[in-house]
């Protein structure tokens, strides 16, 4: 005995498959649009790098304990957020501050060029790549990313990754902290 499939059943199944494909395509388009528009480009006001101190000692008291093949050009010392009055906080009230500073302090292990990936992840995602900056041995630097106060309230994780112009890197090339914006 033969199994017969009615023509109407085939048409219904193909229409369901087409609808599923259309819904899936709309979902993919939605993901593409939201991922592209998720980051506002007007939050960043500027990036500033300054020398905080130059170490004048002949021999350093402490050396970076990494192998020579994995020795980074910079060593992260502190990572934090500051309010408009440039006070360091773990909690910042957005209504009281018109700008937020995201800061990394670092020192050079040897002379190299470095740039930073500032990644703020929390209720919203934001990423900024700085330009190349020379860093010199025995020098203590501070690089701050100045942004507006237009953030969604919540807890953010600031991760700063140093990228060196040469091919070396290491564990000391990452700094991280958590900040609550309310």
Q: What is the pLDDT of residues 16-36, one digit of tens each?
A: 777 777 777 776 666 665 544
Token pair of 163 as six digits = 């990228």
C-alpha–C-alpha distance, residues 156 and 81, integer Å: 10
Would you list the DSSP string of 127-161? EEEPPPEEE-BTEEEEEEEEEES---SEEEEEEEE
The answer, yes or no, to whether residue 123 has pLDDT greater than 80, is yes
Task: Work out the average pLDDT over 116-130.
Answer: 91
- Span 152-168, pLDDT tens digits: 999 999 999 888 876 65
Give the pLDDT band (50/70/90) at residue 61.
low
Distances in Å between the Cα of 172 and the Cα atoms of 64, 111, 114 are 9, 15, 13
Q: What is the pTM for the complete model shown?
A: 0.66
Q: What pLDDT does residue 52 have?
A: 65
The mean of the pLDDT values for the chain is 76
The answer, yes or no, to whether residue 9 has pLDDT greater than 80, is no
C-alpha–C-alpha distance, residues 151 and 91, integer Å: 13
Alpha helices in the chain (DSSP H): 7-37
Number of neighbouring beta carbons within 10 Å of residue 99: 15
């Amino acid at each position: 005995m033969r199994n017969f499939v009615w023509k109407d059943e085939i048409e219904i199944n193909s229409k369901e498959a087409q609808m599923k494909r259309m819904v899936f395509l709309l979902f993919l388009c939605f993901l593409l649009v939201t991922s592209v528009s998720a980051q506002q480009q007007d939050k960043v006001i500027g990036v500033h790098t300054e020398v905080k101190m130059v170490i004048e000692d002949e021999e350093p008291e402490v050396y970076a304990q990494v192998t020579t093949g994995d020795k980074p050009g910079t060593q992260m010392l502190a990572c934090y957020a500051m309010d408009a009055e440039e006070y360091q906080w773990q909690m910042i009230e957005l209504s009281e501050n018109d700008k937020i500073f995201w800061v990394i302090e670092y020192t050079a292990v040897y002379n190299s060029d470095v740039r930073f990936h500032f990644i703020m992840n929390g209720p919203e995602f934001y990423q900024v790549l700085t330009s190349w900056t020379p860093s010199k041995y025995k020098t203590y630097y501070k690089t701050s990313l100045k942004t507006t106060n237009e953030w969604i309230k919540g807890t953010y994780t600031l991760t700063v990754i140093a990228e060196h112009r040469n091919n070396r890197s290491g564990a000391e090339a990452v700094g991280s902290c958590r900040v609550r914006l309310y």
